[in-house]
Amino acid sequence: MHFSKLLKAFVHSISGIRFLLKERAFVQEIFLGVLLCVTLVFSQNTIDEILYIFSSYALVLISESFNTCIETIVDRISSEKNPLSKKAKDIGSATVFIALLHLGTVALLLIKF
């Protein structure tokens, strides 16, 4: 891959992150990550446990990113209420919820003080 293509991909990624940082749910999840970092500073976890907790946290951010993507596409197609649009948005939301449950379970099982 040429450097110019890598640079374009990087610029598009930064643009996407800027968009996500304007989304309330994503910002709330970033705040959750900050709280998680503060908690882990005072914990007595091994590096392996910390990495597992952060990979679980990454799933939350990834899920929220895809959920925002789905919502954006559905909103672009039509602003009318439609059962399929609701289904797509609800499934996206459920994905984030499952990721949050996973993170919560991992954190409760692994974080040691």
Eight-class DSSP state of 43: S
SS3 68: helix
Token readout for 33 is 């990550």
List 23, 29, 49, 64, catalytic entry:
64
Q: Is 29 a catalytic residue?
A: no
Single-letter code of the amino acid located at 98: I
Single-letter code of the amino acid located at 101: L
Token readout for 50 is 């910390």
Annotated catalytic residues are 64
